[in-house]
Chain A
């Protein structure tokens, strides 16, 4: 089992990294793109299954900062 925690900056937070990446993409010829946001993915192997509530706690307390970020969790079976 694996969990993928995706952490993105909240829409209200300025993301200068995303803006810089968007500029670079336009420079490479991708002119018709909209807003670009950059977040992070934390991949967690769960060999013994998962307590989802606990996972959400960890996602809220450690992996993300709820003041500036939102997170989602996707759990997949298999390696």
Chain B
């Protein structure tokens, strides 16, 4: 499975994504520059973390208009798999490919730490290799990771089983104390209604190597590789 990792000016997790994906049997990854107009030849697209356009105006607000995003949107509308990680999640929300928005962390601090997320829905292409209730230890690093959506949107997300990951404690309980950034309903990762576009604030590409303290990110990438 060939992954395109899009590079925007200011993306900085692109190398980790390419490195981690290339190390997974059955997967390969390569860079695509934001000015390219095509993602042909790739089976999936990754929008990596970072500070595209310096987070100017709003995180992801300018990147969503990069030339490559036309190709990414077409790719998504044809059912192609798109994963937005951190800034990538922000870009997907800004571009309307995912519902809701990411705003400033409730505590105003930039948070860089390992966090636990609970797998809510195993029946998605991002979580099929995991079990409901499985706890994944994956790092976050963000200042604007608070997921917001209005009540109607949240109701739809629940109804359509679009909430995939929630921040939780060591026992897998979804609590206010285990919510690092104030996200509504502790939401850490979602999918679109059609089930081919994914967004998550935690960095699975930083949890694929035991030397980094966790390999739980592999569960998410391996789900994508499963048939």
Check A20 for interface membership: any CB of B closer than 8 A: yes
Residue in contact with B101 in the complex, picked from A16, A20, A63, A67, CB distance below 8 Å: A67
Report how far A17 CA is from B109 CA in the complex, Å: 11
CB proximity of A54 to chain B, nearest CB, Å: 15
| Residues of chain B within 8 A of A9, CB atoms compared | 103
Residue in contact with B182 in the complex, picked from A14, A20, A62, A68, CB distance below 8 Å: A14
**Number of chain B interface residues as a range:** 20 to 34
Known contacts A12-B150, A67-B93, A20 near B61 by CB under 8 Å: no
**Number of chain A interface residues as a range:** 10 to 19
Residue in contact with A68 in the complex, picked from B62, B65, B103, CB distance below 8 Å: B103
Check A28 for interface membership: any CB of B closer than 8 A: no
CB proximity of A69 to chain B, nearest CB, Å: 8
Interfacial residues, chain B to chain A (CB-CB below 8 A): 57-58, 61-62, 65, 93-94, 99-101, 103-108, 146, 148-150, 182
Interfacial residues, chain A to chain B (CB-CB below 8 A): 9, 12-14, 16-17, 20, 62-63, 65, 67-68
Q: A13-B103, A17-B108 are in contact. List 8 more A-B contacts (CB 8 A).
A: A13-B148, A14-B148, A16-B105, A62-B62, A65-B94, A65-B101, A67-B101, A68-B103
